[in-house]
């Protein structure tokens, strides 16, 4: 498998006629935030590949090819089946003009802290019923609805199978945005209205974390480079978004050190001194766990590292210099890839 070495630029290739540079499979996959194997599968199974690919030769992706792939990603995120998403992407008359970057926030509504029996209303102010035997998932695709039904039945095997299918078809970003976020949001709404369903959220979290961990473990060995530390702030118990980022970085062969939930400040400082990371990402789901003073007290080591924060808890806070707030999953992976390069 061809890979991009640390410090190397993506694999551009200029055609003999002097046309725009084209990217190889590894570079195109990194650009899109998916595994190279997924990109090859899309080409082989759904016909979404380079326009001028010749069998037996390396695939090279132009700007229009990448725009078409991004349209397919967007359709998958909205819940379309892979074959339907491919037809939509192929039928776009001007893919570059129709393509936009990922707009959904990274902050997953997992384990949302709300008051039980809170009023849930639709846009007209009417109370929305979210109890019963189904989860309300308006606009979600069939796979998300299937996960919702299996979660209500506490059918962990089916939840894991459907998550695995979503991961194989669209990569980590599509699974996260099209399945994980809407289902966890629906579970949170149900609990807010009925005060019940904590066991559903716990089962979902365990299944999601297990699928992401297995995916990261099966990824190719990381490139030799300084690692990225991923940790939740002290008293912060939410780690699923960081686990999704870790799985996406594993696809890109980035070495990660996941440090888990509720990491004490002194333990974080010790990990930084011991590993000399290239970057540190700290998650805060709630404003109460987003501690700017801790960011300012991070140890100064050589070589220097870049500090990143992520999660809705950091919204509106003035961050120290050289500290960046990551607001999307794909944006986080791209920012970390730039630091390593």
More confident residue, 14 or 275: 275
Residue 256, helix vs strand vs coil:
strand
pTM of the entire structure? 0.66
User: Per-residue confidence at 88, pLDDT binned at 50, 70, 90?
Assistant: confident
pLDDT tens sequence across 10-34: 344 434 444 556 788 888 877 776 7
> How far is Cα 32 from Cα 34, in angstroms, rounded to an integer?
6
Task: Retrieve residue 119's tokens.
Answer: 């009023």
Average pLDDT over the chain, rounded to whole? 79
**Phi, psi angles (nearest 5°) of residue 254:** -100, 130
How large is the average pLDDT for residues 171-198? 85
Residue 20 has what pLDDT?
55
Q: Is 335 exposed, middle or buried (0-12, 13-18, 19+ CB in 10 A)?
A: middle
- pLDDT higher than threshold 50 for residue 268: yes
> How far is Cα 56 from Cα 50, in angstroms, rounded to an integer?
13
Q: What's the Cα-to-Cα distance from 21 to each of 12, 28, 36, rounded to whole Å?
A: 5, 12, 19
Residue 283 has what pLDDT?
95
Residues 173/122, Cβ–Cβ less than 8 Å? no
Distance of CA 62 to the CA centre of its chain: 24
Percent helix, strand, coil in the chain, to 5, is 50, 10, 45
Percentage of the chain exceeding pLDDT 70: 76
Please give the domain boundaries of the chain with CATH numbers for all domains: 12-98 (1.10.1660.10), 104-218 (no CATH), 228-340 (3.40.50.280)
Residue 153, helix vs strand vs coil:
coil
Residue 217 has what pLDDT?
94
The residues pairing with 330 across neighbouring beta strands, listed in sequence order, are none
User: Per-residue confidence at 93, pLDDT binned at 50, 70, 90?
Assistant: very low
Q: Are strands 22-23 and 12-13 parallel, antiparallel or unpaired?
A: antiparallel
Residue 42 has what pLDDT?
86
> How far is Cα 184 from Cα 190, in angstroms, rounded to an integer?
10
């Amino acid at each position: 498998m061809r890979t991009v070495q640390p410090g190397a630029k993506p694999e551009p290739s200029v055609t003999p006629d002097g046309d725009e540079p084209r990217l190889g499979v590894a570079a195109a996959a990194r650009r899109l935030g998916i595994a190279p194997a997924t990109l090859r599968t899309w080409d082989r199974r759904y016909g979404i590949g380079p326009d001028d690919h010749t069998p037996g030769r390396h695939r090279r992706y132009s700007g229009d090819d990448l725009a078409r792939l991004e349209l397919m990603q967007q359709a998958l995120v909205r819940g379309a089946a892979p074959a339907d998403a491919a037809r939509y992407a192929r039928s776009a008359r001007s893919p570059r003009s129709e393509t936009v970057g990922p707009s959904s926030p990274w902050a997953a509504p997992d384990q949302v802290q709300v008051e039980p029996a809170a009023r849930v209303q639709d846009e007209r102010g009417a109370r929305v019923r979210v109890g019963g035997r189904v989860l309300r998932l308006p606009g979600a695709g069939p796979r998300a609805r299937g996960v919702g039904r299996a979660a209500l039945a506490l059918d962990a095997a089916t939840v894991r199978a459907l998550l695995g299918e979503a991961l194989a078809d669209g990569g980590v970003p599509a699974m996260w945005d099209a399945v994980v976020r809407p289902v966890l949001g629906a579970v949170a709404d149900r609990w807010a209205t009925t005060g019940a369903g904590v066991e559903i959220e716990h089962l979902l979290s365990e299944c999601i974390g297990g699928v992401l961990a297995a995916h990261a473990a099966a990824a190719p060995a990381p490139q030799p480079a300084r690692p990225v530390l991923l940790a939740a702030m002290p008293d912060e118990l939410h780690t699923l978004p960081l686990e999704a980022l870790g799985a996406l970085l594993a696809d890109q062969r980035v070495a990660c050190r996941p440090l888990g939930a509720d990491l004490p400040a002194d333990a974080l400082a010790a990990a930084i001194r011991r590993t000399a990371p290239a970057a540190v990402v700290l998650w805060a789901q709630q404003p109460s766990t987003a501690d700017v003073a801790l960011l300012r007290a991070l140890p100064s080591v050589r070589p220097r590292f870049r500090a990143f924060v992520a999660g809705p808890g950091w919204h509106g806070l003035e961050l120290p210099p050289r500290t960046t707030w990551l607001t999307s999953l794909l944006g986080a992976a791209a920012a970390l890839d730039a630091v390593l390069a």
